[in-house]
Amino acid sequence: MRKKIFLNLKIPIAGILLLFMFYSCDKEDNSFDASGSFEADETIISSQASGVIREFNIEEGNVLDSGTYIGYVDSTPLYLKKLQLIAQLNALESRKPDITIQLAALQEQLKNAQKDRERISNLLQSDAATQKQLDDITTRTGVLEKQIEAQNSTLTKTRDGIEKEALSLKLEVEQVNNQLAKCRIVCPMR
C-alpha cells in the first residue's frame, strides 16, 4: 500500500512543478533581478619575427602573465647564420699574429749582435780588432733594430685589422641574437 501512495504523490508534485514553471514564464512583468554587460580585454599576441610558427601553447580564454612564453617562430635559418658567423670569427681570430713570438727570433739575433759589438769594441781598444769589424757589427745591429721595428709595425697593423674585422663579425652575431630573441612569442602585458 505504501508504494502506491508514494507513486501517487509523485504525479501531483511533477504537475505542481510544471504549473509553477508555466506560471513564472508567463509573467508579463519584465523586471530583472540584475543586469550588466561583460567585457573582455582582447590582446593580439604576435612575434616580432615573421615565419612559420613551430610552437603555440595558448587557447582562447587563457589568462597569462606578462612575459609568459607562448611559442616560437621557426628560427633555423637565423641559427645557421649565427653558426656561420661564429665560424668566420674563429677563423679570423686564428689568423691573428702573436707579435711576441714572431719577433722573438729577430730580437735574439739583435741581442747576439749587440754582444758581438761589445766584444769587438773591447777588442778594438786593445788593438785586437779593426774599425771595419766594429762598423760591420754596428751596421748589422742597426739593420736588425730596423727589421724589428718594421716587423712590429706590420704585425701590429695586421692584428689591428683583424680585430676590427672581428668586431664587425661580433656585431653581426649580436644582431642575429637579437633577431633570434624576436622569434620567441611572449605575452606582452596582462
Mean model confidence pLDDT for the chain? 83
pLDDT grade for 167, boundaries at 50, 70 and 90: very high
Retrieve residue 158's grid coordinates.
695586421
Q: Which pLDDT score, from 0 to 100, does residue 55 have? A: 85
Q: Which pLDDT score, from 0 to 100, does residue 25 have? A: 57
Contact 67, 184 (CB under 8 A): no
pTM above 0.85, yes or no: no
Angle formed by the axes of helices 131-181 and 99-125, nearest 10°: 170
Distance of alpha carbon 21 from alpha carbon 37, whole angstroms: 27
State the average pLDDT over residues 129-145.
95
**High-pLDDT (> 90) share of the chain, %:** 52
Q: Report the top-level CATH class of 53-186.
A: mainly alpha
Q: Which pLDDT score, from 0 to 100, does residue 7 have? A: 43
Q: What is the pLDDT of residues 95-113, one digit of tens each?
A: 999 999 999 999 999 999 9
Query: Which of 23-37, 118-132, 145-159 shows the lowest mean pLDDT across its residues?
Result: 23-37
CA count, 13 A, side-chain hemisphere, 144: 19
Query: Which of 39-43, 144-148, 186-190 shows the lowest mean pLDDT across its residues?
Result: 39-43
Q: What is the pLDDT of residues 40-92, one digit of tens each?
A: 666 666 667 777 888 888 887 777 788 888 888 888 999 999 999 999 999 99
**Count of CB atoms situated within 10 Å of the CB of 75:** 21
